[in-house]
Chains A and B, each alone.
Chain A
Amino acid sequence: MKKKLRNIINDSSSVFALILILALWQFISSSGLVPKYMLPSPFDVVMAFVNDFSLLMGHAKTTLMEALLGLSVGTALGFVIAVLMDRFNLFEKSVYPIIILTQTVPTVAIAPLLVLWLGYGLLPKVALIILTTFFPITVSLLEGFHSADKDALNLLKAMGANRMQCFVHIKLPGALNHFFSGLKISVSYSVVGAVIAEWLGGLSGLGVYMTRVRKSYSFDKMFAVIFFISIISLVLMYGISYLKKALMPWENKKN
């Protein structure tokens, strides 16, 4: 009971802080402390969002499609690499450092290259998203595979289980928790990756919309699309949590 009360206070405290920041922002902007064309008020941002709603939805559709396509392929690729690394020690030793290296290259730096190689269509965007999303999946899955209980594996081996059965019954379900932590990161990377790739060229997408409104100095629309992207990421992350609950029913029954 006490815990519940504390939770409510904790939850509402963040909402309260958010309201406070918005109020402060609204005050700074409407009082003229900062000129309105540089910092639109929260109200202006909401209005910009409402006015451009159908346009934003159209662009969002493109971005989401790229993000989900890239994320699916990235996840599949990450899964395959993690399985291979777990299965073949040599593969892990030789490929892991290279994969780490690819992650030190900033996304913004390779995006123009991808556009030059693959054109202005869907391909460079999806390629960039794959490059950024497979990594968290591989790392988290691999850690999950490695954390499998040695005694449980021995027990299954003693039962006469083959490698595949050990994988299906012990390693894979044991790594699900890790997998979903990785997927949560990848899903937000996928949206950001899509937007960055769209900055560099394309006909539609939230990144394209962003470049256009920036060129016309529409700060209110700029803010509107930034918040919109955040909200999309949040909704997708929430979706992952929901998926995790559905796929891991034993976790819900704890206590």
Chain B
Amino acid sequence: MEKLTTESITVSYEGKKTIEDISIKLNKGEIVSILGVSGVGKTTLFNVIAGLIKPDSGKVFLDGRDITNTTGNTSYMLQKDLLLPYKTIIDNVSLPLVIRGEKKSKAREYASKYFEEFGLKGTENKYPHQLSGGMRQRAALLRTYLFSDQVALLDEPFSALDSITKTSMHQWFLKVMEQIKLSSLLITHDIDEAILLSDRIYIMSGSPGKITDEIIVDEPKPRSRDFLVSESFLKYKKRILDELES
């Protein structure tokens, strides 16, 4: 079932087209990556979907409903965790509920149910700077989830982490996603990450950025670390590399 679709989105900035004719779809519970080099317009596309940028043409649909130019429908997570330094972790993650008009105590109570599942137990009353980078990204994902359990836009969420932390975060991410089944669009420039985490991969390239290929990663989940060194993994990788070369 289609959760989110975009219909030939074109955006220009100062008279120059940055992305052109982007049509993608995201099915319910799916993790779909948008893979491309930096500056190809991946973040621009996300800003359009989130309702922060008005496209020149094209539309965004959520469950068949037109959500072009409206905010508050899809949740958003960046490479920067953007946890507010003056709020405790529980207040940070429950912020979207408070924004929606929930009472602070109610929001906290609701958010605290998820701490165990997200591997954040014991951090409730700490401040962000007291946590490691990996833990902060976990909190950021929980905040994203509490913001909307519909669609999450993840803009290079793990790219600021060191590679060892990143590897364990990938495993954690797959495990959590298995439980919460959050339909997610993931921006990345890390080919391994895209193959490991996604059900499908859109390749975005060119200037203005266009979708040039779609790759279905038809592998069973949960995927373990071993998948990263398997024959089939390398086949996907070769195909993507060839596509990016051309």
A residues adjacent to B (C-beta < 8 A): 149, 151-152, 154-161, 165, 169-170, 173-174, 176, 248, 250, 253-254
Closest to B74 in A: A158
Q: Are A173 and B52 in contact (CB under 8 A)?
A: no
Given the interface contacts A154-B52, A160-B99, does A149 sit within 8 Å of B72 by beta carbon?
no
Q: Are A173 and B78 in contact (CB under 8 A)?
A: no
Smallest CB–CB gap between B90 and chain A, Å?
13
Taking each of B98, B99, B129, B147, which has the highest tally of chain A beta carbons within 10 Å of its own beta carbon?
Answer: B99
Q: Is the interface of B mostly helix, strand, loop or mixed?
A: loop
Q: Are B99 and A156 in contact (CB under 8 A)?
A: yes
Q: Are A173 and B129 in contact (CB under 8 A)?
A: no
Given the interface contacts A165-B99, A169-B95, A173-B84, does A158 sit within 8 Å of B127 by beta carbon?
no
Q: Are A152 and B75 in contact (CB under 8 A)?
A: no
Q: Which 6 A-B pairs have the closest CB atoms?
A: A160-B72, A158-B76, A173-B86, A158-B50, A250-B127, A161-B99
B residues adjacent to A (C-beta < 8 A): 50-52, 71-72, 74-76, 78, 80, 82, 84-87, 95-96, 98-100, 127, 129-130, 147
CA distance A122 to B80 in the complex (A): 52
Q: Are A157 and B82 in contact (CB under 8 A)?
A: no
Q: Please name all residues of chain A whose beta carbon is closer than 8 Å to the beta carbon of B50 when the two chains form the complex.
A: 158
Q: Please name all residues of chain B whose beta carbon is closer than 8 Å to the beta carbon of A158 when the two chains form the complex.
A: 50-52, 71-72, 74-76
Q: Please name all residues of chain A whose beta carbon is closer than 8 Å to the beta carbon of B51 when the two chains form the complex.
A: 158
CA distance A248 to B98 in the complex (A): 21
Q: Are A250 and B86 in contact (CB under 8 A)?
A: yes
Q: Please name all residues of chain A whose beta carbon is closer than 8 Å to the beta carbon of B95 when the two chains form the complex.
A: 156, 159, 169
Q: Are A149 and B71 in contact (CB under 8 A)?
A: no
Q: Among the listed A155, A174, A248, which residue makes an inter-chain contact with B76, where contact means beta carbons less than 8 Å apart?
A: A155
CA distance A141 to B94 in the complex (A): 27
Q: Please name all residues of chain B whose beta carbon is closer than 8 Å to the beta carbon of A151 when the two chains form the complex.
A: 78, 80, 82
Q: Name 24 A/B residue pairs within 8 A (Cβ), A-sorted.
A: A151-B82, A152-B82, A152-B84, A154-B52, A155-B78, A158-B50, A158-B51, A158-B52, A158-B71, A158-B72, A158-B76, A159-B72, A159-B100, A160-B71, A160-B99, A160-B100, A170-B84, A173-B87, A176-B86, A248-B86, A250-B86, A250-B127, A253-B130, A254-B129
Q: Please name all residues of chain B whose beta carbon is closer than 8 Å to the beta carbon of A161 when the two chains form the complex.
A: 99
Q: Please name all residues of chain A whose beta carbon is closer than 8 Å to the beta carbon of B129 when the two chains form the complex.
A: 250, 253-254
Q: Are A169 and B80 in contact (CB under 8 A)?
A: no
Q: Please name all residues of chain B whose beta carbon is closer than 8 Å to the beta carbon of A250 when the two chains form the complex.
A: 85-87, 127, 129
Q: Please name all residues of chain A whose beta carbon is closer than 8 Å to the beta carbon of B78 when the two chains form the complex.
A: 151, 155
CA distance A173 to B98 in the complex (A): 16
Taking each of A155, A156, A173, which has the highest tally of chain B beta carbons within 10 Å of its own beta carbon?
Answer: A155
Q: Please name all residues of chain B whose beta carbon is closer than 8 Å to the beta carbon of A248 when the two chains form the complex.
A: 86
Smallest CB–CB gap between A247 and chain B, Å?
10
Taking each of A154, A170, A248, A253, which has the highest tally of chain B beta carbons within 10 Å of its own beta carbon?
Answer: A154
Smallest CB–CB gap between B151 and chain A, Å?
12
Q: Please name all residues of chain A whose beta carbon is closer than 8 Å to the beta carbon of B76 when the two chains form the complex.
A: 154-155, 158-159
CA distance A253 to B100 in the complex (A): 30
Smallest CB–CB gap between A208 and chain B, Å?
44
CA distance A158 to B147 in the complex (A): 10
Taking each of A151, A158, A174, which has the highest tally of chain B beta carbons within 10 Å of its own beta carbon?
Answer: A158
Smallest CB–CB gap between B69 and chain A, Å?
12
Q: Please name all residues of chain B whose beta carbon is closer than 8 Å to the beta carbon of A155 when the two chains form the complex.
A: 76, 78, 82
Q: Please name all residues of chain B whose beta carbon is closer than 8 Å to the beta carbon of A173 when the two chains form the complex.
A: 84, 86-87
Smallest CB–CB gap between A164 and chain B, Å?
11
CA distance A170 to B130 in the complex (A): 20
Q: Are B127 and A149 in contact (CB under 8 A)?
A: no
CA distance A250 to B128 in the complex (A): 9
Closest to B95 in A: A169
Smallest CB–CB gap between B192 and chain A, Å?
26
Smallest CB–CB gap between B110 and chain A, Å?
15
CA distance A253 to B82 in the complex (A): 19
Q: Please name all residues of chain A whose beta carbon is closer than 8 Å to the beta carbon of B127 when the two chains form the complex.
A: 250, 253
Smallest CB–CB gap between A67 and chain B, Å?
30
Smallest CB–CB gap between A158 and chain B, Å?
5
Q: Please name all residues of chain A whose beta carbon is closer than 8 Å to the beta carbon of B130 when the two chains form the complex.
A: 253
Q: Are A157 and B71 in contact (CB under 8 A)?
A: yes
